[in-house]
Every structure is written in C-alpha cells, then in structure tokens.
C-alpha cells in the first residue's frame, strides 16, 4: 500500500478499511494559529515555571523541556488568553497579534526574544 | 501517588495539537489533564459530540492513543465490548496481558439523554472502565440546544428567553447521584479549573475495582456566552456558588473534596454568563430566587449524605 501523505487528501487506495486513521496526532499539520487575534507574550524574567499555563492550555501550545517552560507554539495557539488569566505571577500578557509581537514569542523562528531569555 | 505538574510535563502528550475545538474550550483542557494523569496506557471510546467531530476530522486525528467511535449513544457499550474482547484474546493467548485503562469520553448529551440506557447497562454488567462525562450543559456541537443537564433559566436555541418564557423552565437531572445509585465503586464530580482535584479523581477511578464515573464541568464559552479567557474563572464561580459541588462517592460513601466550596450567591455565577442575561438584569427575578432555593436545598441534602457517610 502506498504511504499516506498527510499533507494532501489521500487517494482511495491509501484509505484504510473503515476509514481508520493511521497517523496519530496528525492534526498537528493544521495551523489553528490562524484563528488568533491576540498573542501571549511571556516575561521569562518573572516566570516561575509552575506549569499552570501548560496544564490549562486547550491547545497544548506551551513548549516545555526538562520541566521548564521554553516558548509558545504559535502555529497552534488560538489566542484564547486562559494562560494570562490563570498565571499566578501574571507574567503572561495578551497583546494584539502582529508580526512584531509574534516575533517575541515565536518558537518556529527560533530567534525571538522570549526563547532567547529562556536559554 | 503525588501529582506534580513538573513531573507530568515530562511525559509525552497523548492528546495533540491542531484540533478544531473553539478557542478557550475547557474540553481539550480536561482531556489533556485526564490522559496525562492516567498511569496505564489508555484505550479510548468516544461518543459523538464536540470532542469527537473536532479531533477526528478525516483523514487526521488529534489522538495518540487507540481510539474507537461508533455512534452517539453507545460509547459505554463499545468500551464494554473492547473490555470483553481484550479478556477473550488474553485468555486465548493471542494478546499479552498487561494493565490497560479503558476510558470513555462523552458529552452531557451522550450521557444524560441519548446514551443513558447504554451507560446504565454497562455499569450493571460491571465492565472495568472509566467513564468521563464532559458536561457543558447542552448540545453545543449542533448549535446550543437544551439537554437535560442545562440549568434552569438558561437561554438556549430551543429554550429561547422572552416574554412568554424565561429560558429553560425545568431543573436539570442530577446524573452523578443517578450513577451513584448503580452502586459502582467510584463516582465523582470534578470541574475544569481544578486540575489537581480532577487528576486525583482520575487516578482513583483508574484504580477502582469495577466501573468508575466522573462528571466533569467543562464550561463552553460559545454556548454559555462568555469571553474565551474566562473559562477557568466561570468554572470556579460555578463551584463556589454551589451550582456544581465537587464530591466523590467511594463504595457508596459520599465525601466533599477540596477546600470549603459554597461561599457565593448563585447570582455571582449567573452574572458571569450571558446565557442568563435576561434574568440577571433584574436582581429580584423570580427565576434567580428559584435557582438559589433549589441549590440550597440540594446542597443541604448533599451535606447530610456526607455526614451520614462519615458517621458510618
């Protein structure tokens, strides 16, 4: 059976019997970040890495490594703002979504100010 | 069995990104928390609902666990079949016997209304599974229709508010107590904002010797008419107003969980949701008085049950 390409609609030969999904977590390719009107900006100077934003994020958009918060996944963050509300030290601020504001949090660009201060 | 977020954050996420649930939806928060609290590998059955249609858009899936969906009403029966099939395969030596947790995620429509008979049957047969009801108090997926979990006085598209009627005229079904009356080992009520309470209950449910049921309040920002960032705040207000008491029933013994809960009038919770705006604009509204009276009555009845269980 030809390998299923998750980036395109599959051919009928590639569809499993019963339409069974074969790529766990494949909705990752969907850019739900397009929905966003506000973007979270984290002040890493004040962040205590308590992980409450991580556990309360509906879109699993907080990137963690070794039990430390490192960045926000802006490809999937829908900008709901729950993180800013639940943060106990109020170090997350929701600002209007713009290219400039995105750069400070964007994990994909890899050179944002936020990801730098986390390193 | 301590729960630390830093430890949990080291585990791989079993519920991925890119699903189509609304911004600020409490369901995906609760699902992520429940899956990360489980100690055994889960096998999940889904009922039709917001969660199912938004996370399994063909040909994709958000889930990283074995998942089965067949129809709206029969998720409890489906997982009962999975449980029976697994036991049979192990008995015939065709599958390795290892600890698995069978989990059902269903909405309040699939639990309170459409799948009630099927759930009741599966509980009676004693299949070992954890049934999670993600209760957003209505059929939100199809456009905010009333369900038997919808609160008295709430606006929905099938119980519109106006001169003739003040929203939904009936009091909701107390599903958690109905399930507790099945005498299963573990029944609990939890809410989206309290991750520690929810995860502790999930671990207890997983270790129960038989079926377990957890009714989780997952506020819906579209259907309840509030801003998406207020999800956790609204959930907390519902608990603090006594509209959603957090408790558990272990082997028939009622027990409140967490700190003192009821410390607000219901008005505080109703004001946070615009689905009640037609009754909250007038503080003397008869519907608010009716809700407060009923909440007080149910709260006292629950406290009496807890005291009775503690005295035994």
Quick: pLDDT tens for B171-184: 999 999 999 999 99
Q: What is the pLDDT of residue A6?
A: 53
Q: Per the CB < 8 Å rule, is A56 touching B232?
A: yes
Q: Which residue has the tokens 């189509």?
A: B20
pLDDT in tens, A48-95: 999 999 999 999 999 898 888 888 888 999 999 999 999 999 999 999
What the block records as the tokens of B247 is: 């408790």
**A residues 42..101 contacting B (CB < 8 A):** 49-52, 54-61, 64, 66-67, 73, 75-76, 78-82, 84-86, 94
**What pLDDT shows up at residue A119?**
30
The residue range of the domain holding B239 is 5-311
Q: Nearest by CB to A82, which of B6, B57, B229?
A: B229
Cβ atoms of A4 and A74 closer than 8 Å: no
- Tell me if ipTM is over 0.95: no
Flag whether pLDDT at A32 surpasses 50. Answer: yes
CB contact under 8 A, B9 and A64: yes
Quote the percentage of chain B above a pLDDT of 70: 100
DSSP annotation of B15 reads B
Tens digit of pLDDT for each residue in B216-271? 999 999 999 999 999 999 999 999 999 999 999 999 999 999 777 888 999 999 99
Q: Which residue of A has its CA nearest to B196?
A: A55
| Closest-CA residue to B67 (of B53, B54, B80, B56) | B56
| Residue A83 pLDDT | 94
CB atoms inside a 10 Å sphere around CB B203: 15
Domain-by-domain residue ranges, chain A? Answer: 36-118
Q: What percent of chain A has pLDDT over 90?
A: 39
The closest alpha carbon to B262, from B235, B288, B284, B242, belongs to B242
Number of domains chain B is built from? 1
What are phi and psi for residue B247, nearest 5 degrees? -150, 170
Architecture of the A36-118 domain = 2-Layer Sandwich (3.30)
**The pLDDT of residue A103 is above 80:** no
Determine the pLDDT at residue A107. 52
CATH code: domain of residue B144: 3.40.50.970
| Rounded Cα gap, residues B309 and B96, in angstroms | 41
């Amino acid at each position: 059976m030809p390998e299923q390409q998750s980036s395109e609609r599959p051919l009928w030969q590639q569809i499993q019997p019963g339409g069974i999904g074969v790529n766990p977590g494949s909705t990752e390719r969907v850019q739900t970040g397009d929905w966003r009107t506000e973007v979270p900006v984290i002040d890493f100077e004040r962040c205590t890495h308590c992980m409450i934003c991580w556990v309360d994020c509906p879109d699993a958009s907080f990137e963690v490594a070794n039990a430390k918060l490192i960045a926000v996944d802006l490809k999937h963050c829908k900008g709901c703002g729950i993180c800013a509300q639940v943060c106990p030290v109020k170090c997350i601020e929701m600002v209007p979504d713009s290219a400039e504001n995105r750069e400070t949090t964007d994990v994909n660009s890899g050179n944002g100010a936020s990801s730098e201060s986390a390193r | 069995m301590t729960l630390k977020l830093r430890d949990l954050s080291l585990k791989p996420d079993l519920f991925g990104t890119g699903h189509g649930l609304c911004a600020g939806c409490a369901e995906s928060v609760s699902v992520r928390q429940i899956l990360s609290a489980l100690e055994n590998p889960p096998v999940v059955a889904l009922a039709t609902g917001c969660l199912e249609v938004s996370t399994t858009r063909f040909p994709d899936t958000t889930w990283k666990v074995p998942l089965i969906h067949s129809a709206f009403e029969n998720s409890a029966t489906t997982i009962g079949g999975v449980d029976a099939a697994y036991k049979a395969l192990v008995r015939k030596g065709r599958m390795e016997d290892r600890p698995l947790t069978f989990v059902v995620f269903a909405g309040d429509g699939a639990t309170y209304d459409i799948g009630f008979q099927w759930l009741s049957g599966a509980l009676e047969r004693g299949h070992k599974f954890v049934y999670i009801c993600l209760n957003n108090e209505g059929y939100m997926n199809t456009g905010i229709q009333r369900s038997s979990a919808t609160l008295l006085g709430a606006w929905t598209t099938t119980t519109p508010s106006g001169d003739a009627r003040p929203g939904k005229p009936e009091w909701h079904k107390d599903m958690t107590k109905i399930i507790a009356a099945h005498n299963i080992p573990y029944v609990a009520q939890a809410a989206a904002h309290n991750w520690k309470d929810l995860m502790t209950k999930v671990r207890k449910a997983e270790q129960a010797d038989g079926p377990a049921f957890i009714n989780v309040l997952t506020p819906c920002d579209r259907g309840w008419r509030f801003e998406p960032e207020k999800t956790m705040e609204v959930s907390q207000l519902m608990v603090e107003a006594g509209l959603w008491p957090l408790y558990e029933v272990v082997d028939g013994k009622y027990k409140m969980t967490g700190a003192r809960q009821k410390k607000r009038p219901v008005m505080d919770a109703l004001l946070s949701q615009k689905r009640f705006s037609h009754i909250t604009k007038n503080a003397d509204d008869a519907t608010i008085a009716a809700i407060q009276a009923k909440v007080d009555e149910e709260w006292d009845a629950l406290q009496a049950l807890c005291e009775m269980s503690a005295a035994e």
